[in-house]
Structure 1
Amino acid sequence: MGKDKLRKFAEVATFKNVVQLDVGKDFKGQWAAKFFGNNNPIVLELACGKGEYTVNLAKRYPERNFIGIDYKGNRIWRGAKTALEEGIDNVGFLRIQIESILEHFAENEIAEIWITFPDPQPQISREKKRLTNQRFLEKYKLLLQPGGLMHLKTDNDGFYAYTLEQIDALGLRKEKETTDLYHSELVDDVLAIKTYYERKYLASNKNINYVQWMFREA
């Protein structure tokens, strides 16, 4: 591991807005009260990378709490540091493997979940790693409150098609969907938030797919 990554790993361990590994289990069912000190709704961004989406959502919705989840501490470092520098108190980061998410959050604890440009895991042998595989969707269903929304943004057409298949297989209703977000009527201030990678994809004239769905009506 390079010196810069080691430095970021060491620094992120000192950030008050970052929780790592098993420490997160102590907040299960009480994230709003114990971590944020309020009772506001909680929104997750899974595989958040550098946390651009998490931080920008937090800026737009101060009445909500946002948690970016990723396993790579050197990536989380950027979003966490930005939030600290800008005094954004309604955002935090959790460093865990997403497979263990049910160990860190209680049933019905989450109001909304975003998945933005995840690794599509295109190899058939890695299907179980795809974040919209049915085993992951079953976890999200438990976490989300009735009426809680799921969002996916991805540049990968194959992964998008796979996700729609999983949604349909579970008999879920898609609220919004498009294979070309920035040429659709769906794009708004929130969907227009762009990560580093999304800017690269758009510069290469790649289309951006988006789908929104829910598991249970409110």
Structure 2
Amino acid sequence: MRQRKVKNEEEKLAEHQLFLIVEPYKQKGKWQELFGNENDIYAEFGCGKGQFILTLAEQNPDRNYIAFEGSGTIVLRALQKAEQRGLKNIFFTKEYVRDVSEYFEEGELAGIYLNFSDPWPKDRHAKRRLTHGRYLEGYKQVLKMGGCIEFKTDNEQLYAFACLEFENCGMQLLEATEDLHGSALPAKAVTTEYEDKFRTEGKKIKYCRVKA
């Protein structure tokens, strides 16, 4: 369902500048300076209203989080929640990630989350999928040694495509299931808004974790 654009969006986003990074490319190689500590940094590309990444930030105060979301209307909801919770280990940015190297130096991230990304179902649009090899090679560069990618989707075709791309890029499969919430994997404990919606509709959630 398309979100109705918020009136005076830019002004409302500016009200949450403590959590919003307007020019994230300027932070490349300097993210830990921004957080003011040496804790590991994790990024979610396409955070929606922030349920998933905000929960992680609350549960893991010894980790830093960066959430990317291209829609200002949607990221505004996440910013409001972050401010209400008074979190100190998370920042948001209104960006669609097309080239991860624009934002991060080699080895700057400890982990990446890809949750319910646009499946781009037409074959001619395959390169737009966030699990396409051209994206994965970029992720490999910005992830530190041992860094992982965690991926969730309800889409069978996207899941099959992603698993093949992970393999083709030489990534090590650590965990995988086509029914996350029917498994014992710990990843089911923290959910996204879409995940909750799809589960109520009886859809199974596909999940995998790979090491770059």
TM-score (norm 1): 0.91
Give the total of aligned pairs.
210
Q: Does 1:86 align with 2:88?
A: no
- 3-state SS in 2 of match to 1:112: strand
User: Which residue in 2 is equivalent to 1:168?
Assistant: 167
1:176, 1:212 within 8 Å by CA — same for their partners in 2? yes
- Find 1:206's aligned residue among 182, 203, 207: 203
1:149, 1:212 within 8 Å by CA — same for their partners in 2? yes
Provide, for residues 43-87 of structure 1, a one-character-per-residue CA deviation record: whole Å limited to 9, x for no partner. Answer: 001111111111011011000001111111111111111111111
What is the Cα deviation at residue 18 of structure 1?
0.6
Distance in 2 of aligned mates of 1:59 and 1:99: 28
Which ranges of structure 2 fall in alignment gaps of 5 or more residues? none
* Structure 2 CA distance for partners of 1:4 and 1:133, relative to 1, 3 Å: closer
Distance in 2 of aligned mates of 1:136 and 1:75: 23
User: Which residue in 2 is equivalent to 1:18?
Assistant: 20
User: Which residue in 1 is equivalent to 2:108?
Assistant: 109
User: Which residue in 2 is equivalent to 1:47?
Assistant: 46
What is the Cα deviation at residue 8 of structure 1?
3.7
1:115, 1:153 within 8 Å by CA — same for their partners in 2? yes
Distance in 2 of aligned mates of 1:82 and 1:180: 29
User: Which residue in 2 is equivalent to 1:193?
Assistant: 190
Q: Which amino acid aligns with 1:13?
A: A
* Structure 2 CA distance for partners of 1:2 and 1:44, relative to 1, 3 Å: closer
Which ranges of structure 1 fall in alignment gaps of 5 or more residues? none
What is the Cα deviation at residue 30 of structure 1?
1.0
Q: Which amino acid aligns with 2:180?
A: L
What is the Cα deviation at residue 3 of structure 1?
7.7
What is the Cα deviation at residue 172 of structure 1?
2.1
* Structure 2 CA distance for partners of 1:138 and 1:66, relative to 1, 3 Å: same
Distance in 2 of aligned mates of 1:37 and 1:81: 22
- What do you get for the CA RMSD once the two structures are aligned? 1.7
Distance in 1 of aligned mates of 2:135 and 2:175: 21
Distance in 2 of aligned mates of 1:3 and 1:138: 35
After the TM superposition, list the runs of 4 or more consecutive aligned residues in structure 1 that deviate by more than 6 angstroms: none
